[in-house]
Amino acid sequence: MTWWHALLLFAAGVVGGLCGSIAGLASLTTYPALLLIGLPPVAANVTNTVALVLNGVGSVSASLPELRGQRAALTRLIPMAVLGGAGGAALLLTIPAEGFEKLVPVLLAASAVLIALPMRERVADGPRTVTRIVVESVAMVAICVYGGFFGAAAGVLMLALFLRTGSQSLAHANATKNVVLGVANGVAALAFAVFAPVHWLAVVPLGLGCLLGSRLGPAIVRRAPSRPLRLAIAVAGMALAVKLGVDAYR
């Protein structure tokens, strides 16, 4: 890996950390950067997951004010995050590399659409029945499985789930999302570190960039108009999905 590659990955990490502070969009900048330096899709994905551990550290540390008073909720959610992250890692490690390469364009395109959709702050009403709790728990585990498997826009899905099923504000839902996805990503990263082809030289600049960007994100992105930035990221993600799809199915 050259110095130019390292600078590219660091810059992508900073941008990814900033984007991640909007709604968990880091992978839509960090994953393509790993592809640009020549990593194959599976190696790029597992390397990205390991590097994003530092993104989780930065995001959670920047969200500490909103996490006060959420211990009970996190105690209930973290085991589901562990289960989902482990399931996503196991899924990635068991499917053929060619199958993953063909699946990535579909996942990216779906992520781009989700990112472009408006995210409104809502508070759920109505009683929390057993059926509702089970449905919410299954959805949570499924999102964590997806986060461990690929991850792009997993934060969008989880933030939408929290806003539509919980009584939290946007800031509190985002803080909870940072912890839950951080745990799921960390579990998957641990599995990849042992069993997958992680490119460790790429992890360092990308991870440091993510740490810096995720720490700066709350101070910068909260003052910027999020809608235009989300649309720009969505357009870029869709363009990348089309490019990868043409290459994979050629």
Q: Which pLDDT tens digits describe the chain residue by residue (250 residues)?
A: 899 999 999 999 998 888 776 666 788 789 889 999 999 989 999 999 999 999 989 888 888 887 888 888 889 899 999 999 999 999 999 988 777 778 878 877 887 787 677 765 555 555 567 777 788 889 899 989 988 888 777 877 787 787 777 656 667 777 888 899 999 999 999 999 999 999 999 999 999 999 998 887 666 655 666 677 667 767 877 887 787 788 777 7
Distance CA 209, CA 215 (A): 10
Give how far the C-alpha of residue 202 lies from the chain's centroid of Cα atoms, to the nearest Å.
18
Name, in order, each residue with C-beta under 8 angstroms of 158's C-beta and a sequence gap of 6 or more.
Answer: 24, 140, 143, 147, 177, 180, 181
Q: Which two tokens stand for residue 94?
A: 């068991």
pLDDT at 167: 53
Q: Which two tokens stand for residue 91?
A: 């899924």
pLDDT at 230: 67
pLDDT at 24: 65
- Whether the full predicted model's pTM is greater than 0.85, yes or no, is no
Distance CA 10, CA 109 (A): 25
Find the length of the chain.
250
Q: Which two tokens stand for residue 203?
A: 């992890």
Give how far the C-alpha of residue 124 lies from the chain's centroid of Cα atoms, to the nearest Å.
24
- Look at the chain and report how many structural domains it folds into: 1
The CA–CA distances, whole Å, from 65 to 14, 61, 158, 171, 197 equal 22, 9, 20, 10, 37
The CA–CA distances, whole Å, from 240 to 33, 49, 93, 197 equal 11, 19, 24, 23
- Nearest CA among 35, 45, 55, 20 for reference residue 210: 55
pLDDT at 162: 79
**Pair 206, 33: CB distance under 8 Å:** yes
pLDDT at 188: 96
**Pair 29, 44: CB distance under 8 Å:** no
Q: Which two tokens stand for residue 82?
A: 């562990």
What single DSSP character describes residue 37?
A: T
Cβ atoms < 10 Å from Cβ of 201: 14
Cβ atoms < 10 Å from Cβ of 180: 29
- Nearest CA among 78, 90, 79 for reference residue 145: 90
**Pair 181, 153: CB distance under 8 Å:** no
pLDDT at 124: 52
- Nearest CA among 107, 112, 77 for reference residue 92: 107
The parent domain of residue 239 ranges over 3-249
pLDDT at 120: 59
Radius of gyration of the chain (CA): 17
Q: Which two tokens stand for residue 230?
A: 């989300």
